[in-house]
Amino acid sequence: MTLTHDPAFRIALASSEEMLRAAQALRYEVFVTELGGDGAMVDHAARLERDRFDPFFDHMLLYDDAIGAVVGVYRMLRSSQAAAAGQFYSEDEYDLTPLRATGRRLLELGRSCVRAEYRGGAALYHLWNGLADYVARHEIEVLFGVASFHGTDTQALAQPLSLLHQRHLAGPELRVVARAPHAVSMDLLPAGQIDRKAAMVKIPALIKAYLRLGGVVGEGAFVDHRFNTTDVCLIMDTNALSARQRRIYGAVA
């Protein structure tokens, strides 16, 4: 699926129920219709993907004003918002004790998605540009969040998971650990059996973007049967970004 027009992108933070519903509608399109996910609060009748954390997150929307539609979304949770929610969203999947112990300003990212026809183009760069502004405004020091592979067959994902474990594992000070009973090892293949090219083909674009910016992963993957995904926790120290990476992070293609 390809675009048949020149998009006119605009970033905005949700400031109304209508904007939040627009974000949830796109999430439904991607996470439920396309990927087969579900959840206790998913509204199939209204076609809205939502959960109990939505009221606590800030929601960033990417509009294409050429068609008057939301075509990308991100949601963001700072430490103070997590305290109000009772936890970070990803604490159901990962033990975040190492991140909390740093005492640094944390930002959890989640529910990132882009409409199918906008993938592989400028949309993701616009979302990340908006995120860069948000990070600077709130003086965020560490970004983290779960990102997903489609499917729950970890053996089929042995190449990319092993590559992430072997090449991109976080240092001990940031190394969160997947929680039982749905945790699985990502160290599935010895280094000599990892085909980097084949592994990278299977890694979703969002995860590749984090890796290009110096992102690292936690210990173990989490198999989420509700959403038919295998999740990894990505972490990025904003102070560790090189000058080149900062240009990518703030770029608009």
pLDDT digits (tens, 9 = 90+) for 67-88: 999 999 999 999 999 999 999 9
pLDDT digits (tens, 9 = 90+) for 14-63: 999 999 999 999 999 999 999 888 888 999 999 999 999 999 999 999 99
Residue 119 has pLDDT above 70, yes or no: yes
Task: Go through the domains of the chain in sequence order and give each one's CATH number.
Answer: 75-249 (3.40.630)
Half-sphere exposure of 127 (CA within 13 A, CB side): 28
- pLDDT cut 70: percent of the chain above it: 94
Residues 190-195: what's their mean pLDDT?
96
Residue 148 has pLDDT above 50, yes or no: yes
10: three-class secondary structure by DSSP: strand
Pairwise CA distance, residues 27 & 113, whole Å: 7
pLDDT digits (tens, 9 = 90+) for 211-249: 988 899 999 999 998 888 999 999 999 876 645 455 555
Pairwise CA distance, residues 10 & 130, whole Å: 9
Looking at residue 37, what is its pLDDT? 86
Pairwise CA distance, residues 118 & 224, whole Å: 26
Assign 128 a pLDDT band (cuts: 50, 70, 90).
confident
- Alpha-carbon dihedral 16, 17, 23, 24, rounded to 10 degrees: 160
Percent helix / strand / coil, the chain, rounded to 5: 35, 25, 35
pLDDT digits (tens, 9 = 90+) for 149-174: 999 999 999 999 999 999 999 999 99
